[in-house]
Amino acid sequence: MKFHIFSLVIVTLLVTVCADEEPEAARLLVAKQILNKYLVENMDIIVKYTVHNVGSAAALEVEITDNSFHPDNFAHVSGELNARIDRVPPNSNVSHTVVVRPRKSGYFNFTSAEVLYRRTEDAPRLQVAVSSAPGEGLIVSYRDYAKKFSSHVVDWAAFAVMTLPSLAIPFALWYSSKSKYEKLAKASKKH
Ligand SMILES: *[C@@H]1O[C@H](CO)[C@@H](O)[C@H](O)[C@H]1NC(C)=O
Ligand SMILES: *[C@@H]1O[C@H](CO)[C@@H](O)[C@H](O)[C@H]1NC(C)=O
């Protein structure tokens, strides 16, 4: 009886292990990130796509398509919005960068890109996946951005004015001692 239970446990374990063991195939995790600290109307936004292959085989014919930057809302500056990567080896990362410029200010929901790839060399169909979505961000108007920037110039000017006394006082002391010394020197010359 004991033996039977023991062998049953072994069989169950074997079945579990076999079920977990997938045939060698690629599995991609794709992150879409906005690298800017500030999003400003008419200024570059850098978008980075990182493809991480967590599978056990190379991913082939990887295609990243980002339809979220509509030409009405964004000017395309550089990088392909429809990028093709021939091969991503297992346990490696490949990244791709796109630069766009927003035409308008306001809230914008940055959504995911679509990803297609072949999980194995002989896979009959392409695997469909999506990247992560950066989410909603506020694109500030150029005018507001410029105002914020010029207020930093005002801060700098205030800082310069505040530091002026600390420079002016030593100079005044030096100047007065110098003129005292010169008076003394002149006086001693008379003798
Ligand atoms: C690939 O990227 C992932 C997630 O960004 C990171 O955890 C991993 O360490 C990277 N691997 C390599 C080989 O760079
Ligand atoms: C942004 O878009 C995603 C996907 O369409 C949606 O799930 C999410 O709720 C949206 N976020 C906002 C703040 O509208």
- In this prediction, residues 179-185 reach a mean pLDDT of 62
Does pLDDT of 152 surpass 70? no
Q: 6-19: per-residue pLDDT in tens?
A: 554 444 444 444 44
State the Cα torsion 163-168-174-175 to the nearest 10°.
160
* DSSP class of 29: E
Tokens of 128: 């469909």
To test the ligand 2 pocket, which listed residue (67, 108, 111, 131) has its Cβ within 8 A of the most ligand atoms?
Answer: 111
134 residue type, one letter: P
Question: Using CA atoms, how far apart are residues 180 and 46, in angstroms rounded to an integer?
Answer: 63
Cα 187 to chain centroid distance, Å, stands at 72
Q: 88-124: per-residue pLDDT in tens?
A: 999 999 999 999 999 999 999 999 999 999 999 999 9
Q: 127-141: per-residue pLDDT in tens?
A: 999 999 999 999 999
To test the ligand 2 pocket, which listed residue (66, 70, 107, 109) has its Cβ within 8 A of the most ligand atoms?
Answer: 109
pLDDT of residue 145: 87
Q: 51-92: per-residue pLDDT in tens?
A: 999 999 999 999 999 999 999 999 999 999 999 999 999 999
Rg (CA), the chain: 33
At residue 158 the predicted structure's pLDDT band, cuts being 50, 70 and 90, is low
pTM value surpassing 0.95: no
Instruction: State in Å: Cα 92 to ligand 1 middle.
Output: 7
CA distances from 164 to 18, 154, 155, 159, 167 (A): 77, 15, 14, 9, 5
- Of 153, 158, 118, 141, which Cα lies nearest the Cα of 41? 141
| Helix (H) or strand (E) run with residue 8 in it | helix 2-20
pLDDT of residue 21: 59
E-state strands within 66-170: 74-78, 82-88, 93-102, 106-110, 114-118, 127-130, 135-140
Tokens of 74: 């964004």
Q: Is the CB of 111 under 6 A from ligand 2?
A: yes
